[in-house]
Amino acid sequence: GAVVSQHPSRVICKSGTSVKIECRSLDFQATTMFWYRQFPKQSLMLMATSNEGSKATYEQGVEKDKFLINHASLTLSTLTVTSAHPEDSSFYICSARDRAANTEAFFGQGTRLTVV
């Protein structure tokens, strides 16, 4: 299947700093990308959906000013957690699909964020 690369796989940051997570589609055009968050022993919760060249659509309860999503190209989307706090510590995972080709969504490896 298609490959989605997410980086970094783990990151530890200090409270108050910002962290950027990258999600790249390596061999297809990702017209749509999804960002999920997973708390321990919980489901993956959709945070936002972004279409290339457009602003992201955030799910209810997700702060768009805190979780900045950029999807400026067909192969790259970034999630920036701004002014991170310990409660932002979580597992973040992206997925990408080629909407025009109506393919399934392919997932990245996920990023474990720990805010200390």
Partner 1 sequence: GDSVTQMEGPVTLSEEAFLTINCTYTATGYPSLFWYVQYPGEGLQLLLKATKADDKGSNKGFEATYRKETTSFHLEKGSVQVSDSAVYFCALSVNSGYSTLTFGKGTMLLVSP
Where on the chain is the footprint of partner 1 (CB under 8 A)?
Answer: 1, 4, 6, 9, 32, 34, 36, 41-44, 46, 49, 93, 95, 97, 102-110
Task: Kindly write down the DSSP assignment for every residue of 89-108, as one continuous string.
Answer: -EEEEEEEE-TTTTPPPEE-
Q: Which residue's CB is nearer to partner 1, number 19 or number 47?
A: 47
Peptide bond into 40 cis (omega under 30): no
Contact 51, 71 (CB under 8 A): yes
The minimum distance between CB 6 and partner 1, in angstroms, equals 7
The minimum distance between CB 112 and partner 1, in angstroms, equals 11
